Structure 1
Amino acid sequence: MIPGDALLDAFINANILFVVAYALWYAARFLFHRLGLRHSYATQLHLLNSVFVAIVLSPFLIVAFAALQASGYAKSVNVNLSDMVVAYYLNGGFSMQATEFEKLVNLRDTFLNNVVNAAGWVAWTVIAAFFAGLIIGTGRLVFSMFCLGRIVSASYAWRRFGRIRLRLSDRTLVPFSTRGLRNYYVVIPSHMLGQPKELSVSLAHEFQHLRQGDIEWEIVLEALKPFFFLNPAYHAWKRQVEHLRELSCDAEVLTRGRIDVRAYCETLLAVCQQTLRRDRMFVVAVPKVTLVTADRSTLRDGRMTFLERRITSLLDMRHLRHPRLLYMATLLPLIGAIMLTAIAIQRPGDWSQDRLMLSTVVNLERLDEINRLSTFGRVRN
């Protein structure tokens, strides 16, 4: 059985990696905008998904790196962040009492031990916050899946293509797609049967989501959401994926040339008007991928809504040259930085020479403090 401190340590590393990965992604997106590549939505979406996979696979890299060090092939390679900070301190990089610096360096180990042993009010607060978020998030996810199942089961079978099931719904006003254990479901509002343009746009959009594998990614992100309930970087990450998959889907559908840009935009506007009057069950039902959603928060704040951004991107759509080259040129540095971070934030292993030196300095400092207090007591007597 895996020890509790090892699981907690891996969980902390995952949260740190999400923060670092989102910061790197934000820098890459800023570079794309400066280079005039903001319309490379499919490439950006693939980058986000690839970086997510790199975060998931990072523990295997850490195990492999540890095995290389144990076998002697990478014994001299030390990229541990804690060890580098200790070495920098011992070389006079900054001035600080050795005892205080040791507490700062061991802060993570102290936190892990306190949480695992439930020692102190800080540990209890962290434990309570995590389990509260986990219970609330899990309950929300279960209830959302129940609502989604009711919507799909209450719809009517229309057509089927292999594992894809097309269904009509009298309750749903917005087209969406989801999946079960085996089959995919594309649910279309019944009133769209009398509106051929909206029907063709909706089907093309949802089928493109199926091609891109967006439903599987939505399921994975929703399933992990309760565990990273307290991490704002994860929520920002998920929001970026949701936006990019819609922008990418819009561009791919129009690139095929079977649907007119005007008809596509008119359908988005028409369906968005319906979302403003949708029922509560549809709002909370996940995991699903919809044609369009109404962003009420931006409407209140007076900022550009995501729907406006989608329509603007459709009207100003540009074709990207050599998307695979851009993808690889951006992915390799991102993966390298994330893997290096994953190794650097690990807890230090055996006592290094620098850590032994720090321990010696701390002991000398404590002896000096004891001697000073003893001398002060003798003077007073």
Structure 2
Amino acid sequence: MTHLDDLPVRDDLRGQVPYGAPQLDVAARLNVNENPFAPSESLVADVAAAVADATRGLNRYPDRDAVALRADLATYLGRESGVALTGDQLWPANGSNEVMHQLMLAFGGPGRTALGFTPTYSMYPEYCRDTFTRYVTIPRDADFRVDPVAAVFAIEAHRPDIVLLASPNNPTGTPLGLDVVRAVLDAAPGMVVVDEAYAEFRRDGTPSSLELLADHPRLVVTRTMSKAFGLAGARLGYLAASPAVVQAVQLVRLPYHLSAVTQAVARTALAHADELQAQVALLRSERDALVAWLRARGHAVPDSDANFVLFGHFEDRHAIWQGLLERGVLIRETGPESYLRVSVGTPEENAAFRAALEEVTA
């Protein structure tokens, strides 16, 4: 049998492992920041009807520009953020991962640099690796926030073509103030990408960088329907930016990259946005209660505007992770070395996590 090492793969891929997290059949799966609530029966029925209608035309290629979906996304974001957008400012793809990959293809590449702020989403360096973009990072402060002075200093030092900011940040859950985004925009010579995958979970008063789009043509805000909409299995992410940015990513997208079925599912879910957002309010409440409980037990927990919580410190975090798994609770061993991350689940799953953690740390 031929092995990977026997193939003429790129040298920078040798010894690497694919991105992923354990997919185990346990009672409480709280490791990949999914929405724990399955779609309602009314949404299931509407999706089934929409997919059936799309199936009747599967002998034809889908709308390669997803015009109707982009208009629906603009309407949704307008209601959610209060920022007026048009369909030519939106661009969807197969998850926000593909959106980010397209941005790196369009604005990164050989001889170009992307700047990030550690700890942050573990896929950023892989996007850079795949597109031959140099990746540099500077550390966040002790509270896992981005220091605007340090950010500007790093921009002046590295002159990045792309600056990658996450708000809320993964894996820490910390938000990003618009003062930081403005400082970065004023200093950056290239594109500034604010990854708002978890934006719908942010606490009241936390702004969205969508508010800055009108005055900053090199700003890009990315979102996803995997989290708040509970559509992780549908794979639909999108960006909001100036029409020129959308035109740039269209240059590097694959032909007919978004299937007719995916477009139908996403449009149907957007029509159910109010119903799905009701679940978000419950998850935010559960998150805040979980943060308070962990802090009361003496754990270090940064503020979270996402649907997950980072907590520590542990001398042997793997032992804690394993102990929870043995009790039917799967969380994520990621982020700073002494921390673990737990996704917010249903009230019953969160109760199971609390009981298991009490046993493991007793």
Q: State if a TM-score over 0.5 links the two structures.
A: no
Which TM bucket (shorter chain)? under 0.3
Greater helix proportion:
1
Greater strand proportion:
2
Structure (1 or 2) with the larger CA radius of gyration: 1
Q: More relative contact order in 1 or in 2 (CA 8 Å, sep 6+)? A: 1
Q: State TM-score, norm by structure 2.
A: 0.24
